[in-house]
Amino acid sequence: MDKMVIMKRLMMIIGLSFIINALYSQKEQEILNQALQSYRKELPKLENQAFKELLKLDKSKGNPGIHKFNDYCFVIIPMFKLQEKYVQYHIGDTFANYIDFQKARNDFEAFIFKDTIFIGSLHFSDYDNSCFLVNDVNRYNKLAFNGQYNLAKQIINFKPDIVFYPECPMFLCFLKEGKLYIGRGVNQLQTLDYILPVDEFIKKNPSFIKELKDNRNIGLKHYKKF
């Protein structure tokens, strides 16, 4: 075959690949922009919900001190629902397309900061509302929540626009500057081993989809609309 013909075909293939990648990138950008807008709209409600729960739990512990909302900052970690078609994901797909950013499980974590200092975490759900402070200890008289403290620092240092669970406590997702990242940790609310752009993460973890399927928190039935 003539070298010029081969070169033309090669250039056509490269051009098509560029167009396809650009379309995928544009589609992902649109999905993530919409997700960020919905999240920012819902965030004040979740922050107020977390603050009210903090007051209630603090009062139940006999600490009815004066609290002002503006003294606190909350890192809200919702659990977004996966589309059922996520099991059909193939390398190269836009993974963000498999996340239902309009539905979050009625279950979220909130890391609590007061005057920029991490003071604890709140878990809010239909079945368990609880608040833990950094000075709480376990039965061995050791700080019980160092893992949460370290994860909170890791999230703050990464500076994401959104942080959320994809219905699985093994993975934590981040939206930052219009890009999706995924972090992996052995246990929920523990420091992540690494945080990578979604494509790099999935290449490094080819069993990602199977692990999502095996570890989805499907027991939670109720949702919040974003």
pLDDT single digits (tens) 13-45: 444 333 334 444 677 888 899 999 999 999 999
Greater model confidence, 146 or 103: 103
Residue 188: partners with Cβ closer than 8 Å, 6 or more residues away = 169, 170
pLDDT band at 120 (very low <50, low <70, confident <90, very high): confident
Q: Estimate to the nearest angstrom the gap between the alpha carbon of 168 and the chain centroid.
A: 10
Residue 50 has pLDDT above 80, yes or no: yes
pLDDT for position 15: 43
Residue 198 has pLDDT above 60, yes or no: yes
Provide the percentage of residues in the chain whose pLDDT is more than 90: 28
Q: Specify the DSSP class assigned to residue 136.
A: -
pLDDT for position 60: 64
pLDDT for position 189: 74
The model's pTM is 0.80
Q: Estimate to the nearest angstrom the gap between the alpha carbon of 99 and the chain centroid.
A: 11
pLDDT for position 66: 58
Greater model confidence, 14 or 185: 185
Residue 2 has pLDDT above 60, yes or no: no
Residue 160: partners with Cβ closer than 8 Å, 6 or more residues away = 174, 175, 176, 181
Average pLDDT over residues 175-203: 89
Q: How many CA atoms within 13 Å lie on the side-chain side of 84? A: 0
Residue 128 has pLDDT above 60, yes or no: yes
Helix (H) / strand (E) element for 101: namely strand 99-105
Residue 65 has pLDDT above 80, yes or no: no
pLDDT for position 57: 72
pLDDT for position 62: 59
